[in-house]
Amino acid sequence: MAHVNKVLRSINDHGADRCVDIFRRPDGTVGFEEFRRDAEDMRGWFAIGGYSGRVFAAEPDALAAALGQIAWLESAIGPG
């Protein structure tokens, strides 16, 4: 079986040039990663955070950790 993570939530910054994906691994654990893309570069998104190896039991745990690490994320999610 191929190793394929399933994205549970993808959150873009207001400029849509950075995003955070929260994903579930085939083993059931959850993780997150920060990505960026450059408008002039058509190759797509590039992982920039180095967070994908962190392991969490559930999506809320991964989101809380991401909020603590990625400065722009809280303003992208908004209040609530």
pLDDT tens sequence across 10-62: 999 988 899 999 999 999 999 999 999 877 777 788 899 899 999 999 999 99
Quickly state the pLDDT bin for 3 (edges 50, 70, 90). Answer: confident
What pLDDT is attached to residue 78? 77
Q: Where do the structural domains in the chain lie, given as residue ranges?
A: 6-74
Choice between 64 and 44, residue whose per-residue pLDDT is larger:
64
| 77/39 Cα distance (integer angstroms) | 22
Cα distance between residue 39 and residue 53, in whole Å: 27
pLDDT at 44: 82
Neighbouring residues of 9: CB distance < 8 A, sequence distance ≥ 6:
21, 22, 59, 63
Q: Would the pTM of this model clear 0.85, i.e. be above it?
A: yes
Band (pLDDT 50/70/90 cuts) for residue 2 is low
